Amino acid sequence: MSNRIKEIRIKKGMKLIELAELSNLSNGYISHLENGTRDNPSYKTMQKIAKVLNEDMTELFCLHKIE
């Protein structure tokens, strides 16, 4: 699974620390997700991040089948 967290966060002018605070997740965890050094976040975690970024979870985390 790939994600677009960093791309969308920056596009919206949001700092990593803001996303962390608003989603109630740690800076380090979000940084790992953004950099691909950690994958397979829980469904609840994906929901939190998508809600804060006001994005569709499927698009944010590229959960759709790529052909």
Out of 1.10.260.40, 3.90.1300.10, 1.50.10.10, 3.30.230.80, the CATH code matching 5-60 is: 1.10.260.40
Q: Show the DSSP H helices in 1-67 as ranges.
A: 5-11, 16-23, 27-35, 43-53, 57-60
Q: What's the pTM?
A: 0.84
- Residue 30 makes CB contacts below 8 A (sequence gap 6+) with 5, 16, 19, 20, 23, 49
Radius of gyration over every alpha carbon of the chain, rounded to an integer in angstroms:
11
DSSP structural state of residue 38: S
The pLDDT value given to residue 36 = 86
pLDDT bin (cut points 50, 70, 90) of residue 9 is very high
Task: Please say if the pLDDT value at position 13 is more than 70.
Answer: yes
Higher-confidence residue of 64 and 33: namely 33
Higher-confidence residue of 40 and 44: namely 44
The pLDDT value given to residue 1 = 46
